[in-house]
Structure 1
Amino acid sequence: MKIQYFPDTDTLAIELTTQPVVATDAITDDLILDYDSDGKVVAITLDNYSKNVETVDLQALGVPLLAA
């Protein structure tokens, strides 16, 4: 899993896996989900991050580390 923040575009990108993206769905103007060939979510993009998220601290609590 890779989480990146791009301050120039105020975008938070979460890559859940390295599987190729075959479909993309814009859930809202600011939330985009990418899917693999099995229909599983492989990436999440949140545009206008600072306007959509109230907290300044990012915490990952209880997220299991899975072997590849």
Structure 2
Amino acid sequence: MKVKYFADTDTLYIEFREEGITGSRELDENTLLDVDAEGNVCAITFEHASERTDVKHLTVEGIAA
């Protein structure tokens, strides 16, 4: 799993898994889901992230071994 923030475009990208992405779906004009062939979410992109999320604070809990 990866979390990336691109300050130059104010974009937050959260990748749950990188393999198997076959398409994308728009939730709204600023939110995009990347999905696999079965429709499972592989990643999510938030445009205008600093206005829509708390990108300055990241908390990670329950990391699996």
TM-score, normalization: structure 1?
0.80
Query: Structure 1: any 5+ residue segments left out of the alignment?
Result: none
Matched, 1:25 2:34: no
Q: Which residue of 2 aligns with 1:50?
A: 50
TM-score, normalization: structure 2?
0.84
Query: Structure 2: any 5+ residue segments left out of the alignment?
Result: none
More strand by share: 2
Q: Which runs of 4+ in 1 moved over 6 A?
A: none
RMSD of equivalent CA atoms: 1.7
| In structure 2, C-alpha distance between the alignment counterparts of 1:21 and 1:54, rounded to whole Å | 26
